[in-house]
Structure 1
Amino acid sequence: MFRKTSMALAATLIMAGAAWADPIEGNWKTKDGDTAAISACGGSFCIKLTTGQYAGKSIGSMKASGGGKYVGSITKPSNGKTYSGSGALAGSSLKMTGCVLAVLCESQTWHKL
């Protein structure tokens, strides 16, 4: 009896954990066709490339700011420079923006896999 109850409780907790995941978490296809994995890490979300020329490279960190918006920093993998970053979630699309001095900005839209 105890074993069945424990198994049921464990299954419930696993399913509840998936329901509590933030919508930004998961794998995203970048503009260049690479895959970026976004996962929770220490109160924010870490972004790491998992495929392509820069696979394994950490390229940013974001915190939720409400309403499907995120702020933090983003690193351009081709030159290693880090910029002020933001993300805006709309359904299965994530618009990522990196800016220098909040004036010169570059954006691209990623799609959830």
Structure 2
Amino acid sequence: MKPILISVTALLMSTGLASAADPIVGNWKTTLGDTATIEPCGGGFCITLKSGKHTGEKIGAFEGNGGSYSGKITDPDAKKTYNGTISVSGDTVTLKGCVMKVVCESQKWSRQ
């Protein structure tokens, strides 16, 4: 039985299903009061807006684990994409987007 258990565990990890326990996964309240979902996708994590005027739009794609992530974040109003980072601390995520690593803006979202 052990070889089957190891094979199933390896399969789950390779398909990203094991990522569901990552601290970034979940529903988050944005600074505007909208809901964003962060979930596993494509070997990393995607941010999709679930409420507000941009409902259904994917606004981010990040890679990383254990509370520290990097990738791309999109301002849905301006339709501009920036390099960004996300850090997770308890029930708060801090998103930071930068233009040329010089001009940066941050937001804090809370877990719902």
Interval containing the TM-score (normalised by the shorter chain): 0.7 to 0.9
With the length of structure 2 as denominator, give the TM-score of the two structures: 0.81
| TM superposition shift of 1:81 | 0.3
Shift of 1:85: 0.7
- Determine whether 1:74 maps to 2:73: yes
CA 1:19–1:48 in structure 2 vs 1: closer, same or farther (change >3 Å)?
closer
- CA separation of 1:20 and 1:57: change in aligned 2, threshold 3 A: closer
Larger Rg: 1
Corresponding position of 1:10: none
Alpha-carbon shift at residue 88 of structure 1 (Å):
0.8
Quote the residue 1:37 is aligned against: 37
The letter for the 2-side match of 1:103 is V
Report deviation, 1:68.
Answer: 1.4
- Which deviations, in whole Å up to 9, do the C-alpha atoms of 1:35-59 show, x marking residues without a partner? 0000000110000000001111110
Change (3 A) 1:20 1:35: closer
Deviation at 1:19, TM superposition (A): 9.1
Q: Deviations over 1:79-111 (max 9, x none)?
A: 110000100111000000110000100100000
Q: Which runs of 5+ in 1 are unaligned?
A: 1-16
Q: Kindly tell me: are residues 80 and 47 of structure 1, through their superposed partners in 2, closer, same or farther at Cα, counting changes over 3 Å?
A: same
* Whole-angstrom distance in 2 between the partners of 1:98 and 1:24: 17
Moved over 2 A (4+): 17-20
Equivalent-residue separation in structure 2 for 1:83 and 1:19 (angstroms) = 24
Partner of 1:90: 89
Relative to the length of structure 1, the TM-score reads 0.80
Measured in 2, the distance between the counterparts of 1:46 and 1:59 equals 8
Identity %: 49
Structure 2 unaligned runs (5+)? Answer: 1-16
Pairwise CA RMSD of aligned residues?
1.9
* CA–CA distance in structure 2, aligned partners of residues 18 and 44 of structure 1: 11
The answer (yes or no) to whether the contact 2:20–2:39 under 8 Å persists in 1 is no
